[in-house]
Structure 1
Amino acid sequence: MVFSFSASLIPLVIGGIIPGLLSIYIWRRRKAKGAKYLAIMMLLLFFWESAYILELASAHLETKIFWNNISFIFIAFTPLSFLLFSIEYTERGHWLTPLRVGLALLLPISTIIVIFTPAFRPWFWVSQTLITQGDFLLINGVNGWWYWNIHAIYSYLGLLGGVVFLVLALIKWPRQYRGQMIWTLIAISVPWVANAITIFKILPIFIDLTPFAFSITGLGLTFAVVRHRMLDLAPIAREVVVEGLRDGVLILDKDNRVVDSNPAAYRLLSLKTEMIGSSIAQLFSNWAELAEKDLTLTEGRHEVEFLKENGENQHLEISYSPLRDRFQMIIGGIVTIHDITQTKETQQLLLEARNKALEANALKSRFLAKVSHEFRTPLGGIIGYAELLEGDNFGELNKEQKRVVQTVLRSAEHLNEMVSELLDQAQIESGNLILKKSEFLLNDLVESSCAGFVVSTEKKNVQLKRFLDPQLPSQIMGDERRLRQIIINLVANAMKFTTEGVVKVSFLLEDAEHWKIVVSDTGVGIPQDALADIFDPFKQVNNEVSHENRGIGLGLSITRDLVALMKGSINVISDQYKGAVFQILLPLEHAL
């Protein structure tokens, strides 16, 4: 092959290198919508222009025809790659199934077969001769029916389809995407002009300008990619996302004027007139805090309220922040409008429900306190007279009479304990229970807490063991009465559910600032599903009322609340049939 390179080819060589470099650059961003097909189109243009330059540099007709044939390998697929780019870039990528793309490739492949098959070649080229045009020796060809009826129509339909998809998308783009719009329109119009000049010989130029025009298209699209971030966020994606948002969005310029908005903004602000071009001062004139602010300089959030036309209150949360370019320069602002009416209504309902619950709880506490006080007076009389009868103060009683009196006394004392628990619960819930701290001996607390269980341990086959850590100080500060109540509650609970074995009460030094009370038993234990609410008021593990399980379910609840008042903590470790361990951790206050 003989080639003749002249200075006239230098601009064409430079123009041919451009699409090759662009294909590499765009391929690195192939994850962006349309970038993959745009990179392929640039690569096809690079090979097309390279083959065309070699055709121009060839000195013989046979060599020129060879490179002309090679160039059509890439020419045949270029319009399709442009169409595929346009389809994917305009958010129609779901159309591009393997079957459809495969069918679209059939015609370009058929064209290449026609060109390289001698029997079919006249369908594409009727004749090819040499002519001289300036410094160039060119092919002067006459095209056949396949070229005009199949290849040309297919190519122009591909180009036209790509343009239509882009224009449809461009029409919907907002103002801030105007740079993309201008450069894309320029880019897609150049090849049409160049191809028309070449085919219809509008100008006396015999060189095919189309591949070099596509280079300009590539430059224009790449400028849109780099300068206007076309492939970073496709404007059609903006339409799908922003236009479909339930929240209102306003885009502001540096003068705090609205340059773009979405339908939700009109709906939330109850606007029926065009807001584009309006200033924030006009738009938010009813809300001075917002109207007087420069929303492009700072970030912030405001809650506003206004009356809608239907008489309903509308609550909005308006957030704003600066809008910056890639150089972090402020170019405007963005305002989002969120409807919080339902949230406000829910908050109001919750507040009302909370107030009602607090009121009902306070009423319950007052009722419990009232009932407890009213019960205590007659109970005191019943217990007093029963004790007098038991002591033969009104005459000696026979065995049956004594048994009846003792039953009455036990029942009255049990009822008195329940009344005391109700009163404690009412005082705790109302915040009226106050701890009374004093110095006391730990040993006295141990003995007095366990003394009342001597009879119970004798009746049951249960041992009550006590352990006092010798490292604990002998005398500490605290509310001895309430501590005794806590221990009695836990030991009574352990005795109730332990038919045989051991109940142990331990008083331990945890560290320099804390001490611990541990009550353990070998009883029936607590099921895992009951542990979560074991400290709830009026809650019992076994809700069946029996002689062994009497009470109103306040003992453990009161114990927990008393421990909390003492700034301590309580926990339980248990499993069914394996006993239970209650641990109380309390601050250690040394006696003065």
Structure 2
Amino acid sequence: MSLLLFAAVIAAVVAVFAYRQRPKPGAIWLALLLAGVAWWAAVYAVELPITPLPVRRPFMKLQWLGSLSIPVFWLLFSLEYTGRDRWVNPISIAGLFVVPTVVAALVFTFEHHTLLYRSVELVQNGDLYAVEHVFGPAFYVGIGYSYLLTLVGSALFVSLLAGRSSTHRKQSLALLVAIVAPWLGNLVYIFDVSLLADVDPTPMAFLVTGVASFVALEQLDLFDAVPVPDRIARDIVIDGMYDPVVVVDNRDRIVDMNTAATTVVGFSAQTALGRDANETVPGFPEGTADGETVTVDSPEGVRHFDVAISAVEDAHGRPLGQVVTMRDVTKREHDEQRLNVLNRVLRHNLRNEMQVVAGCAEELQSRLDDEADVALATTIAESANEVSALGDTAREIEDLLETPESTPAIGLRDAIDRLLDDAETENPGAVFTLQWTPDHAIRCRRPIEPVLRHLLEAATSSNRPPNPHVRLFVAADTEDYVSITVADDGPPISDAERAVLETGAETPLDHASGLDLWLVLWGTRAMGGTLDFESHSDTGNAVTVHVPVVESAQSADQQASAD
């Protein structure tokens, strides 16, 4: 009896340890399982010394609560712990308890029928009195169902014995010992192996269950190194992926990775298992953001990666680990490096040289007398100035696209008034008109100003009529969007040039005449807007910019009234 009480105490203590691990996968079910073990052992310890059968009968019935529920809890624990928690839901749990509930009903009324026991007698065994049963059909239904659930749950852990993780193998072995020991004891009792003369050894074997469960919990990190990430990893990690992918558990230990990751972490997949990801995986645990990259010296040379880290959760939203995805941006980094060099040459070297050419050409104009020679010098100067202006536009595009969204917005009406004043000063023969229809102030992101300035410059460029008429129309499309149309009476924008801007790609045969319209297009997109083109040989061009409103006086007033 003392051995049974000791087993009950051990199981109860370990149940408390398991319960404290919630909400980790399987913690609740293991705690309930061990509570059932403690219940069965404790009740049997109380029953054994009792001699009158009528007094003993209630304790016989109460034992069944443990024996019927333990296999169900074992299966639920096995499913959830090994990552099959999608099968653990209220419907499946209720279904698993149907047979135990029916058998329990027969247990608590067994003295009135012979379905569970055909006969029950009390037999003296030394100082103890054991109950000798002749089992009925309901008993075999209940015990067969319990064995089936125990087998299924055990099979899930047997599959882990062949896994790659030594930790998971040790955990599985400890848990299998915990469940197999009482299972064998129960088989001895059911098949009437005369070792203990009708004394059920199952509750006594629970001492092994408690000790093995304690070892799994405290020595083998049962709930800290769950095999769930390892199982889910096979659904996530695709060995054929070019980008390296690594899966880590809640202890930041590597549990899986694809072939591409081996050249990055410096270990084979087998060797890397169990290693600390903080010391092995580049960019872990912070990841990269805001244009940052991780540089790795690999056997293939220096490589650059954008590192993204995402959580792995089970079907109930409990964290199991993390997936580290390293997107190879080496080509992008090299392309950006080349573009930066070319951009610097365009903006600085070429621009400076063209200013020298333009200055020399203007000096030649003052020295030459022949009209043909003067015309040639003038052409050289104009072309040099145009190339130099390309550098200025390239710099402006770069500044425009790098404008952060957090930059304070500007008043649209004030910006347009400034632009029109500058345009009238630079083009004294041109006529500018503005039609402003919104009845409230509007604020837009800062790129709107260079976008409109380049549209006005295009409308008054040298290939326009001598005294161009440029009209601006501003309308509030909705509360959140505004449209600004710049219309002129010059020659229409060619279909080829419009097509290039609409497709976003140039070819040797199809290309835009400069960078101005590209600035307009990219600046509009940077603001989250769109462009519309209308060109007619009789009426000229109309370019409409549709952009979001950052803030308007109308929306501010509405918010104030709402508050």
TM-score category, normalised to shorter length: 0.5 to 0.7
Please say if 1:264 is aligned against 2:258.
yes
Separation of aligned partners in 1, 2:332 and 2:63: 70
Q: Which residue of structure 2 aligns with residue 48 of structure 1?
A: 40
Alignment match, 2:148: 157
Is the Cα–Cα contact under 8 Å of residues 249 and 262 in structure 1 kept in the other structure? yes
Find the counterpart in structure 1 of residue 354 from structure 2.
367
Q: Which residue of 1 aligns with 2:329?
A: 343
Q: Which has the larger radius of gyration?
A: 1
| Structure 1 residue 191 corresponds to structure 2 residue 177 | no
- Quote how far apart the aligned CAs of 1:36 are: 0.8
Please give the residue correspondences for 1:548-587 in structure 2 after superposition, counting only pairs within 5 Å: none
State the secondary structure of the residue aligned to 2:48: helix
Structure 2 vs 1, CA of residues 345 and 277 (structure 1 numbering), >3 Å: closer, same or farther? closer
Q: 1:169 aligns with which of 160, 169, 172?
A: 160
d(CA) in 2 for partners of 1:186 and 1:14? 18
Within 5 Å, give how 1:85-164 maps onto structure 2. Answer: 85-117=77-109, 121-148=113-140, 150-164=141-155
**Whole-angstrom CA distance in 1 between matches of 2:296 and 2:51:** 79
Please list the CA deviations of residues 407-449 of structure 1 after superposition, one character each: whole Å capped at 9, or x if unmatched: xxxxxxxx9x999997996998999xxxxxxxxxxxxxxxxxx
Greater mean alpha carbon deviation, residues 192-201 or residues 155-164: 192-201
Name the structure 2 match of 1:544.
459
Give per-residue Cα distances to partners, 1:17-56, cap 9 Å, x unaligned: 2222222222222201111111111222222222212211
Deviations 1:450-476 (A, max 9, x none): xxxxxxxxxxxxxxxxxxxxxxxxxxx
**Gap change, CA 1:134 and 1:494, over 3 Å in 2:** same
Whole-angstrom distance in 1 between the partners of 2:15 and 2:22: 10
- Contact preservation (8 Å) 1:248, 1:268: no
- The SS at the match of 1:83 is helix
Establish whether residue 355 from structure 1 lines up as the match of residue 337 from structure 2: no
How far does residue 316 in structure 1 lie from its aligned partner after superposition?
8.0
Identity %: 17
1:267 and 1:418, CA in 2 relative to 1: closer, same or farther beyond 3 A? closer
1:219 aligns with 2:238: no
More contact order relative to length (CA 8 Å, sep ≥ 6): 2
Matches within 5 A, 1:506-545: 528-529=443-444, 531-532=446-447, 534=449, 539=454, 543-545=458-460
**Are 2:69 and 1:66 aligned?**
no
Matched residue SS, 1:171: coil
Paired residue total: 390
Is residue 304 from structure 1 mapped to residue 297 from structure 2 by the alignment? yes
Does the 8 Å CA contact 1:540/1:553 hold for their aligned counterparts?
A: no
Q: SS in structure 2 opposite 1:232? A: coil
Which residue matches 1:202?
193
Report if aligned partners of 1:368, 1:426 keep a CA contact under 8 Å in 2.
no
Change (3 A) 1:339 1:139: closer
Instruction: Give the deviation of 1:121 after TM superposition.
Output: 3.1
Aligned-partner Cα distance in 2 for 1:230–1:215: 19
Q: Is the 8 A contact 2:216 2:222 kept in 1?
A: yes
Deviations along 1:120-171, whole A, 9 cap, x unmatched?
Answer: 63110111111111221111111111112x1111011011111111111332
Aligned-residue Cα RMSD (Å) equals: 5.2
CA contact (8 A) 1:47 1:74 kept: yes
Q: Secondary structure at the match of 1:128?
A: strand
Structure 1: gaps of 5 or more residues? 1-8, 252-258, 279-294, 308-312, 320-335, 383-414, 432-488, 500-522, 555-574, 577-592
Whole-Å Cα distance in 2 between the matches of residues 194 and 492 of structure 1? 98
Q: Helix, strand or coil for the counterpart of 2:258? A: helix
Contact 2:19 2:31 in 1 (8 A): yes
Q: Write the distance in 2 (CA, Å) between the matches of 1:175 and 1:349.
A: 45
Alpha carbons 1:306, 1:315 under 8 Å: kept? no
| Mapping 1:423-572, distance limit 5 Å | 493=422, 496=425, 528-529=443-444, 531-532=446-447, 534=449, 539=454, 543-545=458-460, 546=467
CA deviation map 1:38-78 (0-9, x unaligned): 11112222222222122112231111122101211332212
Return the offset for 1:88.
0.9
Deviations 1:486-505 (A, max 9, x none): xxx999739749x9xxxxxx
Q: Contact 2:15–2:34 (CA<8 Å) still a contact in 1?
A: yes
Q: Quote the Cα distance in structure 2 between the aligned partners of 1:43 and 1:192.
A: 17
Contact 1:250 1:262 (C-alpha < 8 Å) held by counterparts: yes
C-alpha deviation, 1:530, in angstroms? 8.0
